[in-house]
Amino acid sequence: MSQWTFLTNHAHVLIHLAGAPDSRIRDIALAVGITERSVQGILHDLEEAGYVTTTKVGRRNAYSVQTDLRFRHPAEADHRIGELLGIFES
């Protein structure tokens, strides 16, 4: 039986960062269940598209999710990222 989920790794990283903006790449990888290299690629994608901004704080990074941006796919383009993140807030 194949394993699949409704959310992509990009979404999982975004959700993790929204709740833990000071996470290290290692922390994100462990939480999402992917390699650190995959996290780096996803962070690059999210930063390049403007969904995440990175600020250097000492020797670490702090991530900020831009919740007002809309989803990229035309079928969801009328929804903002913050709507998805709101589902997972604890």
* Whole-angstrom distance, CA of residue 24 vs CA of residue 21: 9
2 inside domain: no
Tokens of 49: 């598209």
34 inside domain: yes
Read off the CATH number of the domain in which 79 is found.
1.10.10.10
- Into how many domains does the chain fold? 1
Q: What's the confidence (pLDDT) of residue 26?
A: 98
Q: What's the confidence (pLDDT) of residue 1?
A: 66
State which residues form the domain around 13. 9-88
1 inside domain: no
Consecutive 10-residue averages of pLDDT for the chain (90 residues): 88 97 97 98 98 95 97 96 92
Q: What is the amino acid identity at position 76?
A: E
Q: What's the confidence (pLDDT) of residue 90?
A: 67
How much is the pTM?
Answer: 0.92
Question: For 66-87, b where at least 16 C-beta lie within 10 A, e where not — what string?
Answer: eeeeebeeeeeeeebbeebbee
Q: 31 near 56, Cβ under 8 Å? A: no
